[in-house]
Amino acid sequence: MFLSPHECIHHILDEIDYILTQISGMDYGSFVRNPSLKRAFVRSLEIIGEASKKLPEDVKRMQSDIEWRKLTGMRDRLIHDYFGVDYTIVWDVATTKLPDLRAKLQTLLEATGKCQHDS
């Protein structure tokens, strides 16, 4: 299925917003004891990586400070090494990396002339 860059960015933002909403007021212990949430976060990170893969290189170059290879690499590791998921890394990505990524993607969306993604 073909997705436009606009759609890909929105898919990524939707997954980031889901994770950020879920972690609000939560600590790592609560997260790691919740199997449904752990699965959901892993799936969201997979979607973020997959949507990142679909973005054209010229769009990625517009926001070159995003570590695109790490996003897609994370997706590949989660897909292919699902028995070895390190939830401390998932939590770290959710709490420390995604807020910054969201801001950069919002800037990218604005730079491509698209309307803002609602939070």
Q: Looking at the annotation, which residues are catalytic?
A: 75, 80
HEC sequence for the chain: CCCCHHHHHHHHHHHHHHHHHHHCCCCHHHHHCCHHHHHHHHHHHHHHHHHHHHCCHHHHHCCCCCCHHHHHHHHHHHHHCHHHCCHHHHHHHHHHHHHHHHHHHHHHHHHCCCCCCCC
